[in-house]
Amino acid sequence: MIALTMATHSTHAIPDKFRSIVDGLGQVPTLPAIVARALEILNQPNASAEAAARLIGQDLALSAKVLRLANSAFYGIPRSIASVDQAIVILGFQTVRSLVMSASVLKILGKGGRGSLDRRMVWRHSVATALASRVIVRKVGRRLGLDIEAAFMASLLHKIGVLILDGAEHAEYQKIMLEAGEPDALPLPLLERKHLQIDHAALGGMLAEKWGLPEELRDPIAHHLSPATAPTQGELAAVVQLSSHMAESAGFGAFEGLVQWPLDPNVFTILQCDAALLPEIGEAFQKELEKAESFFALIESSV
């Protein structure tokens, strides 16, 4: 069994070249200006649905996706939603924030790519992980005071660092992916650390910081491989790891033929729940996947 005591890299241990990349050498995806401003408005306590809708409306593709998702079975709204501001009022700011970020992440994941990664698989894994996180928070996270939308967004973004590594160190990362597919190979994050002195979780946390995302997203992204090492938000980091594990087990792996990162037994201690709950959570997750068919259809149409 692979030991999970190796901590995710702290910021000070990150090689300078990756600092430079994340600081903006053009190889890192950026959060679109309209999306960033919309998220800023949606996060304000006195936010205006009209103001958010006016801004989102400047991006026709984003508006269309928000409306399509709001009218899909994914969110189960019983009547037709005809405008973005109506969607914001009915769904609530937190849900619309997730929709906006989802659309943005899909756009980011669709850019670039030179053969090392099957980005369609990364998309599907990320969304499935986000769906699983909703189920887990509903089952065990409420009593811990966890925010279901924070769990969704952190889970949606937890693999974003893979894109940085593939873009910044493409040739080396291609070799790492090939090595990861060999019999008896180490899991991908350990090979990333071995060859690049960094893993995708740490870089994802750096990108979240660069984007100005809150701590409740940064730390779960950066520490989802080892939740016990998270300086804050350890419960959310545990939700992300368990959600990723469930997505993998349900057939939504991010990488074909690679060894799955083992589930940290500390996850259940951190979440103050029993592993015996897994079958019940898994059953609820399968129902969530069935309900989200239209969400995956939107992803596939964006490829």
pLDDT of residue 186: 93
> Above 80 in pLDDT, residue 22?
no
- Dist. CA 296–CA 127, nearest whole Å: 8
86 and 118 belong to one structural domain: no
Residue 1 lies in a domain: no
What is the number of structural domains in the chain?
A: 2
> Above 90 in pLDDT, residue 225?
yes
Decide which of 73, 94, 109 is a domain's last residue. Answer: 109
- Dist. CA 165–CA 5, nearest whole Å: 23
Decide which of 64, 89, 109 is a domain's last residue. Answer: 109
Closest CA to 193 of 208, 210, 172, 219: 172
pLDDT of residue 295: 64
Decide which of 109, 126, 150 is a domain's last residue. Answer: 109
DSSP state of 277: G
84 and 118 belong to one structural domain: no
- At residue 208 the predicted structure's pLDDT band, cuts being 50, 70 and 90, is confident
Question: Which run of H or of E encompasses 241?
Answer: helix 234-249
pLDDT of residue 170: 82
88 and 151 belong to one structural domain: no
105 and 177 belong to one structural domain: no
137 and 263 belong to one structural domain: yes
- At residue 6 the predicted structure's pLDDT band, cuts being 50, 70 and 90, is very low
3-state secondary structure of 279: helix
Residue 16 lies in a domain: no
Mean pLDDT of all residues in 21-44: 66
- Dist. CA 265–CA 185, nearest whole Å: 21
* pLDDT tens figures, 70-83: 787 666 777 788 88
The count of other CB atoms within 10 Å of the CB of residue 33 is: 11
Mean pLDDT of all residues in 173-177: 91
The token duo for 191 is: 């090979």
- Dist. CA 130–CA 252, nearest whole Å: 12
pLDDT of residue 48: 84
Residue 12 lies in a domain: no
Range of the domain at 89: 23-109
pLDDT of residue 281: 93
How many helices (H) and strands (E) the chain has is answered by: 17, 0
Provide the whole-model pTM: 0.79
> Above 50 in pLDDT, residue 133?
yes
Residue 99 lies in a domain: yes
* pLDDT tens figures, 57-116: 887 777 877 787 778 766 677 778 888 888 777 777 777 777 777 767 766 666 555 556
61 and 156 belong to one structural domain: no
194 and 280 belong to one structural domain: yes
> Above 50 in pLDDT, residue 7?
no
Residue 161 lies in a domain: yes
Residue 195 lies in a domain: yes
Burial 109-148 (b: 16+ CB within 10 A, else e): beeebeebbebeebbbbbbbbbbbbbbbbebbbeeeebeb
- Dist. CA 279–CA 285, nearest whole Å: 10
68 and 184 belong to one structural domain: no
69 and 163 belong to one structural domain: no
- Residue listed under structure tokens 């996850």: 267
> Above 70 in pLDDT, residue 135?
yes
